[in-house]
A and B are shown apart, each in its own frame.
Chain A
Amino acid sequence: MMAVGLHHFLVLSALLFVLGLLAVITKKNAVTVLMGIELILNAANINFIAFSRYVDTDLDGQLFALFVIITAAAAAAVALAIVLNIYKQMRSVNLDEADTLAG
């Protein structure tokens, strides 16, 4: 049986990061884009916790992950409120249709 080591976590987080990046770049729906951003943040979190366990001796990385979770929740709350407000005005959360400002 193979032991799970640092590399496995790093590969997992890199995969999550790329999936998040893909969602941000290709999706048109604002909510889906925000979900992609959450994936990127969680990829970073996995890195922090894995490095904290395998590289650093103290808990700095885990502490960082906790802070990221909290601020990500705050950012998502604000972003979703803005998306909701956009939906009320335009009946759509499609980023391509939010084009009153362009040039």
Chain B
Amino acid sequence: MEFGHYLQINLASLPYFIPELILVGTLLLLIIVDLVLKDKPSAGWLSLIALSGVIIALIAVIGQYDLGTRSLFNGVLVLDHFSLFFKVLFLAAAALAILFTMASIELAGRPVGEYYTLLITLVLGMFLMAASTNLIMIYISIELVSITSFVLAAYIKRATRSSEAGLKYAIYGAFSSGLMLYGFSWLYGLTGTLDLYQLARSLSEVASQNPLAIFLSVLFILAGFGYKIAAVPFHFWAPDVYEGAPTPMTAFFSVGPKAAGFALLIRFFVSGMAQPSLVESSMWQAIGDIHWPQLLAVISAATMTLGNLIALVQNNVKRLLAYSSIAHAGYALMGTVVLTQEGYFATLFYLVAYYLMNMGAFLVVIVFQDLIGSEKIDDYRGLGYRAPIAAIAMGIFLFSLTGLPPTVGFIGKFYLFAALIKAGEAYYWLAIVGVLNSVISLYYYVKIMKYMFLDRPAEEKAGALPVTLSMNLMLVVLMVPIILFGLYWAPLQEFTRNSIQFFTGTF
């Protein structure tokens, strides 16, 4: 009887699960087509299937916007605007990653069937991460993303650095999810529930008795989340993985799983560890006296400072961008410490800006890697004369990463700082740290520009580089919105502001 009831709820949830089902269909189709076309050249077909699967899923996700918020599958997943925002972001990142893979020569000639299958699986895992409201589901979705990323990082089997990237990713990943799991087990013991909304309710009773135990379990749980967003002190894997993994995958890792980590972190803390403030409706407050906002503030400051300082001394562009992406995780975390709608809006807006500029910067790395076979900053000497479009594009991406107007990176940073200042004096120090860090970051971003534009290329290799049309086209497609949203960001702002809508529980 009861079983029938649960089954009915599950079946009724299926119509709201269509984008995920489309992804599952796509990955099954990829496996089958890969098997059927075993000995024939199939890379084009497989890329096409993967890309069209992603696009169809994107259309389905956009169609879900007017379905309202609801809980799915007996309270394991939710459908709300917050999760839809991230799903759009993931699919956009996946589409670009597929296009990068098609255009790059790094993976040309390798079997891509498994590659795309794993990529789509990863996207599915990120979808679940953005929507899960149950600790079991959170753990499984994180593992789904992690395990597929390990394989993708180590995809070039013969290359030592790719295998090494996979190994480091796997060991740090398994370790941090072990810590997170231990934290979950304590939280479960303290509250007797795995559901985030019930967790919030029973925490308000338990928190005063056992604040230390809850704080410790939050510390353990942050190990798992921090690993996903590459926050200090769980960032050690990032530079090695970003440098060793195939570059299209690096671009994807630096945006997709990081955004998924932010989705999970925000949802976990808002739904499970905070309650709507009684004073003002657009604010939350931490349940009990658990000091997790302060903890996030410290992590944010440490993450951006450390990322920026180590980026100063890098001479490999991929590695430099890895440290810069650590620093950007720190910036984006600034929005999550103030517990206001303004703050979460700023974080989400910044993630979109970061998606555009970071994907762009990695695309330029791919272009130059294909043409000059190097990712050392020294070898970027004079590229402004040899490949002007790509170099100018890199300039815009780097200006946006620094946060200079008129780029979308500036607007994103502006909202982050504004949210911190608006929330009161408690976090002025964090805003100051953030501004100082932006200044530091200017040095290493401009260093790349200096090598490209102010230094002349060596005589023997001064010829123009044959950048392909598709590469130039993608560069322009990424460059235009960065400038456009830097000048007129109202549509993006509206889209993001609509996304700060959480499912608030049914019980």
Contacts and interface: CB of A to CB of B under 8 A. Distances in A.
Interface of A: 10, 13, 17, 20, 24, 30, 33-34, 37, 40-41, 43-45, 47-48, 50-51, 55-57, 60-61, 63-64, 67-68, 71, 74-76, 78-79, 82-83, 85-86, 89-90, 95, 98, 100-103
Contacts of A51: 185, 188-189, 192
B179 A40 contact: yes
Contacts of B181: 40-41, 44, 68
A47 B178 contact: no
Q: Which 7 A-B pairs have the closest CB atoms?
A: A47-B185, A40-B178, A51-B189, A44-B181, A101-B240, A79-B170, A56-B192
Contact of B186 (A34, A47, A83, A85): A47
Contacts of B160: 86, 89-90, 100
Contacts of A55: 189, 192
A51 B173 CA distance: 26
A90 B186 CA distance: 40
Interface residues of B, number: 46
B150 A64 contact: no
Given A33-B171, A40-B179, A60-B193, A103 B163 contact: no
Contacts of A43: 182
Contacts of B146: 75
Contacts of A41: 178, 181
Contacts of A13: 185
A98 B147 contact: no
Contact of B164 (A33, A63, A100): A100
B164 A101 contact: yes
A95 B147 CA distance: 20
B379 interface: no
B170 A71 contact: no
A68 B182 contact: no
A51 to B, nearest CB: 4
B136 A63 contact: yes
Contact of B163 (A44, A71, A89, A95): A89
A98 to B, nearest CB: 5
A34 B171 contact: yes
B72 to A, nearest CB: 18
A98 B167 contact: yes
Contact of A64 (B135, B151, B165): B135
13 contacts: A37-B171, A40-B181, A51-B192, A71-B139, A71-B143, A75-B150, A82-B163, A85-B154, A85-B157, A86-B164, A86-B167, A98-B167, A103-B239
Nearest to B244: A101
Contacts of B185: 13, 44-45, 47-48, 51, 61, 64
Contacts of A17: 182
Interface string B314-326: 1110010000000
Given A47-B186, A56-B193, A64-B194, A85 B163 contact: yes
B262 interface: no
A79 B143 CA distance: 13
Contacts of B175: 24, 33, 37, 40
Contacts of B239: 101, 103
A50 B161 CA distance: 43
Interface in B218-254: 239-240, 243-244
Nearest to A64: B136
A103 B182 contact: no
A87 to B, nearest CB: 10
B174 interface: yes
Nearest to B240: A101
A75 B240 contact: no
A78 B140 contact: no
Given A47-B182, A71-B140, A95 B157 contact: no
Given A44-B178, A47-B189, A67-B140, A82 B170 contact: yes
B497 interface: no
A90 B314 CA distance: 26
Given A44-B184, A67-B136, A101 B178 contact: no
A95 B169 CA distance: 12
B178 A64 contact: no
Contacts of A101: 161, 164-165, 168, 239-240, 243-244
Nearest to B158: A89
Most buried by A among B143, B164, B166, B179: B164
Given A44-B182, A82-B154, A98-B168, A74 B147 contact: yes
A45 to B, nearest CB: 8
Contacts of A40: 175, 178-179, 181-182
A83 B167 contact: yes
A51 B192 CA distance: 8
Contacts of A100: 160-161, 164, 244
Contacts of B174: 34, 37, 75-76, 79
Nearest to B241: A101
A90 B185 CA distance: 38
Most buried by A among B181, B184, B185, B319: B185
A13 B184 CA distance: 14
Interface in B295-315: 314-315
A71 B186 CA distance: 20
Contact of B170 (A45, A47, A67, A75): A75
B187 to A, nearest CB: 10
B182 A30 contact: no
Contacts of B184: 44, 64
Given A68-B181, A82-B166, A61 B154 contact: no
